[in-house]
Structure 1
């Protein structure tokens, strides 16, 4: 059922995903072809905000912090997984893997490689601040518009 808290959480996590994606682009090599990197992450932010954060809103301010962080972690996991799977498919088309199990294992190896770009102070600070704002605003929307 649509609620104001779900909408606010979805919009906040989508904005966080877009801003973080643009920040990560500055950390990666200049020759990287990003394609629809920011758009995919923004859509994942919408989904994670709606499903993860928005559905848990209305449980108080302490839970709001936890909800925001949970939503951000879910967003980061799914963004890493989707982007890594996309990269693996591109490599698999070029016959870089001997079999499907090797390709599946490569998804997780690529996730670790991409995850190293997240261990930057600016990225971590943006994710943490965005998670807290998302949790707080979704909780405020839940309290205000019941």
Structure 2
């Protein structure tokens, strides 16, 4: 059911996904073709906000902070997973893998490489602060707009 809390959670996580995407792009190798990187991450932010954070709003300030951090964690998990699958498919189209199992294992290897690349203090602080702000905004929307 659509609520103001779901809308605010989706919008705030989408904005955070946009900001984090802009911070990640310079960390990647120069030859990286980003394609639909930012729109995909914004969509994931909308989905995580709507599905994960919006449904858990209205339980108090501490729960709101935890909700925001959970939403950011799920956003990063989905983001790394989707981008790793995208990279695996790109490599598979170039006949890099011999069989399907090798391609599936490669998703986890590629995802682990992405995590190592983006594990910086700036991104970590942005994620924590952004998650807290998103959680508090969602809680505010839940309390004031029913």
TM-score (ref. length: structure 2):
0.98
Question: Deviation of residue 31 (structure 1)?
Answer: 1.8
Q: 2:69–2:128: 8 Å Cα contact kept in structure 1?
A: yes
2:57–2:67 contact (8 Å) kept in structure 1: yes
Equivalent residue number for residue 96 of structure 1:
96
User: 2:92 & 2:140 partners in 1: Cα distance?
Assistant: 46
Superposition deviation, residue 117 in structure 1: 2.1
Equivalent residues in 2 for 1:86-125, closer than 5 Å: 86-125=86-125
* 1:123-145 C-alpha deviation (Å, 9 max, x unpaired): 11111111000000000000011
- Alpha-carbon shift at residue 9 of structure 1 (Å): 0.4
User: C-alpha separation between the residues in 2 aligned to 1:39 and 1:23?
Assistant: 15
Match of 2:2 in 1: 2
Report runs of 4+ in structure 1 exceeding 3 Å deviation. Answer: none
User: For 1:55-134, what aligned pairs fall within 5 Å after superposition?
Assistant: 55-134=55-134
Shift, 1:119, TM fit: 1.1
Residue aligning to 1:14: 14
Equivalent residue for 1:39? Answer: 39
Gaps of 5+ in 2: none
User: In structure 2, what is the equivalent of residue 52 of structure 1?
Assistant: 52
SS at 2:72 equivalent = helix
Contact 2:27/2:118 (<8 A) preserved? no
SS at structure 2 position matched to 1:133: helix
Task: Give the match for residue 27 of structure 1.
Answer: 27
SS of the residue corresponding to residue 2 of structure 1 reads coil
Query: Aligned equivalents of 1:118 and 1:59: distance in 2?
Result: 32
Report the number of matched residues: 146
> Which whole-Å CA distance do the structure 2 matches of 1:117 and 1:125 have between them?
15
Residue 48 of structure 2 contacts residue 74 of structure 2 at CA under 8 Å; is this kept in 1? yes
